[in-house]
A and B are shown apart, each in its own frame.
Chain A
Amino acid sequence: MTSPRPVPPHFRKPLLETPFSERARELQQNDHFVAWAGYSTVDVFTTVEQEYFAVRNATTLYDLTPMVKYRITGPDAERFLNRLVTRDVRRLKAGRVSYVVWCNDAGHIIDDGTIFRLGAQDFRVCTAERQLDWFADSALGFDVAIEEVTSEIAALAVQGPTSCFVLKRFGLAGLERLRPFELAEFTVGGRPLMASRTGFTGDLGYELWMRPEHALAVWDELLAAGQTRGIRPIGSQALNMARIEAGFLLPNVDFVSAEHTIRVHRERTPLELGLGWLVEFDKPHFNGRRALLAQRERGLERLLVGLDVAGNKPAHNALLYAEAAGRREVGSVTSAMWSPTCKRNIALAIIEAPYFALGTTVWADIYLNRELVWERRMAAAQVVERPFFAPERRRATPPADR
């Protein structure tokens, strides 16, 4: 009889490994890891530029297992979710996915995520942060079961213009018929696998959901299938560049969850984040509805917008002013980058009324560290439409077969 392998106590190794970690550790070259929701994940495999360009020109693998996942089931599952989130879940058909936010009583965002409708009474909710307490409290009066399934599902994002081709070669026959925000079940080499046409890059792409024990085999077969299409794994930094171009928001970067804010006016409502299209006032009551209605009546005091900044120096953390002289402060930048694809210096920023109106010019106070000497630039920044980058191929069904 052999004794079971001793498991080190959690305090010896507080960060978990994902089912893909073994391969990721072999391929990464920089020892550049980052903790994400209790897991150790790769921040950069080779160079950020190489990985970013693979997102826009080839196919990329991104391990999103640490994303928190809940399974919500029961006779009241739909009613429960419909009261929880601001979008109308009744209209979400089985086999489809919806991007949602949920708010507290004051209409302030707690988190954003996606709802996968797997059946009439069966949903998966993916969230940025753990939500069990909020979900459990929200379940009072509803006949639902809520279960965290984060570690039971290995998840891999396969994104890029050649991703459909690679996945078909991998074995997902008929994948080209999958429209954005649809999901489908497949079996590849005897392994069940779910694919959804979702992602965080704003490009053509899919997310694969599988059992953890199949993770390494799927990874290996995908890399083999994508060899002629420049497939490579990417880390969180490259993904972050892609999501800024796509205009997607990152919790704790572009907004802070209302559950974590301490200072007043640091919370954000979906209306203030430009997510008004996610708020469906004509559905039955949902958390924060009355507060959001009142805010709509009052008008917005601030709004998250896209900025086109003059020059090519990213406006990281820049304060924004109403005039070049920098007297009246009107907001600040939450995310910024030079966009290699758009060839524009872009940023996401939260700006006070009335300076958030489209076309308004504000001034970004940019600090540059030039060989340890700080220089300051006041750059004009214009409020522009988001997303900055939205290629046709992101929606095309079927996608290009190449």
Chain B
Amino acid sequence: MSSTSLPSQLSRTVVPNFERWTLRKLLLYTAVYTLAIVFLFPLFVAVITSFKTRAAVTQTLPFIPVFPWQEGFTIAQWAQAFSVLQNGLLNSFLRVIPATTLTAILGSLTAYSLTKIKWRGQVAVLLMMVAATFFPTQAAIVPIARFWSVYVPLDQLLGPVWTLPLLEPYHGDLLALIITDIAYGLPVVTVLFRGYYQTINQELIEAAKIDGANMYSIYRRIILPMSVPMFAVVFIFHFTQVWNSFLFPLIIMSGAGHSAAPATLALGGLGQSLEGTNYGLRMAGALLTALPTVIVFILAGDKFASGIQGGRA
């Protein structure tokens, strides 16, 4: 656009509109902050409910907080939720850390081979990865459940392994879950890394080749060091995905009672009893399960956001 004439014209239009502009700004700020409150409101209600006694839950309005110095305040729900879920939280970490790490490493290697090396058939592998990011999980869960329970029961096949200290046969299902998580994380993680590697200058690679580098040393010396920011994005994005996922644990471990059940699975049925639902306990359990992802999100929300965009936009 004609940038030379812009400043003078702009000032002419902006200055007389100054008053309208502030009104506009006031409306804008009111709107964005009202919406922020609306978005946080269900979570706010969940937090204050989790600190109420069962009596207070029924006697106070759901969005009125009860403070520590008031009657009806309790942290017993959180204590109980923690004692029920602590094993599940541990299992979640045992699941999510290897799954996220291995998916990131394998995804990075695959993306490198799809962008910086030319080989016959790479389009097929690429399309395979891209298309798989969209498949509904339901289309595969019957075979996956049967694969791990009927054909490859790791708890039996790896019998001697479970005699090692700290390992139990039920960890077989955890291992099955991790392998499944890796397979289902690879497509999106590969697509994320690929988007990033496409922006790396090809001349850099060619120069290294002339210096005698092969495809392995190029990855190790050039690509890997440059991938650090993308690894952060992928870790955060995929950590959240795996931590939150529920269907795979459900079909591989078939129920909240399983000793290797992650927190999302163990959460089901918490706060349900014959006397009805204990909503305070339920909220405490739900928030406790969500806490690791919320912490990650608050610390690195921008990386999470770029994970969403990089993969799809």
The reply to whether chain A is a binding partner of chain B is no
Instruction: Point out residues on A near B: beta carbons under 8 Å.
Output: none
